[in-house]
Structure 1
Amino acid sequence: MLTHGIINAQLAHALAGLRHKDRFVISDAGLPVQPGIEIIDLAVVLGVPTFEEVLDALKGELVLEEGLMAEEARGTVAEQWVKDRFEVPLSYVPHDGDEGFKANVEGVRFVIRTGETTPYANVIFRCGVPF
């Protein structure tokens, strides 16, 4: 049995499969996800686990090169949670629409669903490389 790091088997397996330029989502409890995209559902009840807790758990596990959030998240606590933990450039698009955040979820490797209920607590990360 693992003694540290990610112990959720589905999440650990998905993270180990990420490669440079792959994208994945950390989402709140309500983000709609298109059929065919793997959902790693960590939500137990509303609020558990929080978006922050999942960001904290992933912080030391990944090399990231970019993040994407909804324009509506700019200036919110959700944006600050991401900025406090990851030193990556963030881009913004409207939450809805043909070029919006929800549309950008298409093609990601997986979505990590949290129990978060804070509006716009969603981020799409693009992986970097450690060398």
Structure 2
Amino acid sequence: MKKGTVLNAGISSVIARLGHTDTVVVCDAGLPIPGATERIDLALTQGVPGFMQVVEVVTKEMQVEAAYLAEEIKQHNPQLHETLLEHIRQLQQHQGNHIDVRYITHQQFKKQTADSQAVIRSGECSPYANIILCAGVTF
């Protein structure tokens, strides 16, 4: 049996296959997911699992060098925005590297999901609860 943090086989497999600059999306229940992109659907019901729960588990195993957020999160979900930024600050300290946070429009965000290795769907039902995580290297 796996001893690491992530028990979900799909998420564990995606993280293990990531190369430098590959991306993974963690999203809310409403983000459209391109048909050709791997979908890992964790949503059970509204709010379960929560967006931050999924982000926290994924970033425990994934080395992150950059994160993309929709510009609209600042205005439409400021509390989650601050929570995400604090998580990224803590992750930087834990990993020992700088994580570049980049803002793009929600339209651009939706387009970039097509280039991701996978989209992990949470049960989150708050606006703009989405992040693109860009893989770094551990050496």
Do they superpose with TM above 0.5?
A: yes
Equivalent in the alignment of 1:28: 28
Equivalents in 2 of 1:58, 1:123: separation in Å?
12
Equivalent in the alignment of 1:37: 37
Matched pairs, number: 128
Equivalent in the alignment of 1:6: 6
Residue 128 of structure 2 corresponds to residue 120 of structure 1 = yes
| RMSD (CA atoms) | 1.3
- Using a 3 Å threshold, how does the CA distance of structure 1 residues 126 and 4 change in structure 2: closer, same or farther? closer
Q: Map residues 1-131 of structure 1 onto 2, 5 A cutoff.
A: 1-74=1-74, 76-86=78-88, 87=92, 88-96=99-107, 100-131=108-139
- Measured against aligned partners, the alpha-carbon deviations of 1:92-112 in whole angstroms (never above 9, x if no partner) come to 11112xxx2111112110000
Task: Give 3-state SS (helix, strand or coil) of 2:45's partner.
Answer: coil
- TM superposition outliers: structure 1 runs of 4+ over 3 Å: none
- Using a 3 Å threshold, how does the CA distance of structure 1 residues 58 and 16 change in structure 2: closer, same or farther? same
Equivalents in 1 of 2:117, 2:58: separation in Å?
16
Task: Give 1:3 shift.
Answer: 4.2
Equivalents in 2 of 1:7, 1:81: separation in Å?
24
Partners of 2:20 and 2:137 within 8 A in 1: yes
Q: Which runs of 5+ in 2 are unaligned?
A: 93-98
Equivalents in 1 of 2:39, 2:51: separation in Å?
15
Equivalents in 1 of 2:4, 2:33: separation in Å?
30
More helix by share: 2
Partners of 2:27 and 2:120 within 8 A in 1: yes
Task: Give 3-state SS (helix, strand or coil) of 2:68's partner.
Answer: strand
Equivalents in 1 of 2:24, 2:3: separation in Å?
25
